[in-house]
Amino acid sequence: MPAISLVVCLYNEREYLERLLEQSRGIYDDLVVVHDGPDNANIRELVEQSGGRFFEGPRAYQQEPHWPFAWGEAKYDWILRLDADEFPSTEMKQWLQDFRKGAEPEPEVTGYTCIWPIWNGKRALSDRWPTGRQFLFQRQRVRFFGMVEQTPIPDGSFIPLPLILHHQPKRCTYGIGNLLFRSRMKMWFHVIAKSLLGKPTDLPCWRWTSDQWPSNWEELRRHPLRTGFKRLLLFPAVELSRAIKKKHAYPFSLMMSPGIHHFMLGLTLFREQKRARR
Same domain, 68 and 124: yes
Q: Which residue, 121, 145, 167, sits at the end of a domain? A: 167
Same domain, 152 and 267: no
For the beta sheet containing 30-36, the strands, ordered from the edge strand earlier in sequence to the opposite edge, are: 53-57, 30-36, 4-10, 78-81, 133-138, 109-115, 157-167, 86-88
pTM of the model: 0.93
How many domains does the chain fold into?
2
- pLDDT at 89 (0 to 100): 98
Same domain, 35 and 158: yes
DSSP strands (E only) in 105-232: 109-115, 133-138, 142-145, 153-154, 157-167, 205-206
Task: Compute the distance between CA of residue 146 and CA of residue 98 in angstroms, rounded to an integer.
Answer: 31
Q: Which residue, 167, 199, 223, sits at the end of a domain? A: 167
Peptide bond into 214 cis (omega under 30): no
Helices (H), 59-128: 67-73, 90-101
* pLDDT tens digit at each of 278 positions of the chain: 999 999 999 999 999 999 999 999 999 999 999 999 999 889 999 999 999 999 999 999 899 999 999 999 999 999 999 999 999 999 999 999 999 999 999 999 999 999 999 888 899 888 888 899 999 999 999 999 999 999 999 999 999 999 999 999 988 777 766 666 677 788 889 999 999 999 999 999 999 999 999 999 999 999 999 999 999 999 888 777 777 776 666 677 777 888 888 999 999 999 999 999 98
Same domain, 38 and 156: yes
Same domain, 160 and 195: no
Enumerate residues 6+ apart whose C-beta is below 8 A from 72: 206
Q: What is the CATH number of the domain that holds 16?
A: 3.90.550.10
The answer to whether residues 5 and 32 touch, using CB atoms and an 8 Å cutoff, is: yes
Same domain, 16 and 153: yes
As a whole number, the mean pLDDT across the chain is: 92
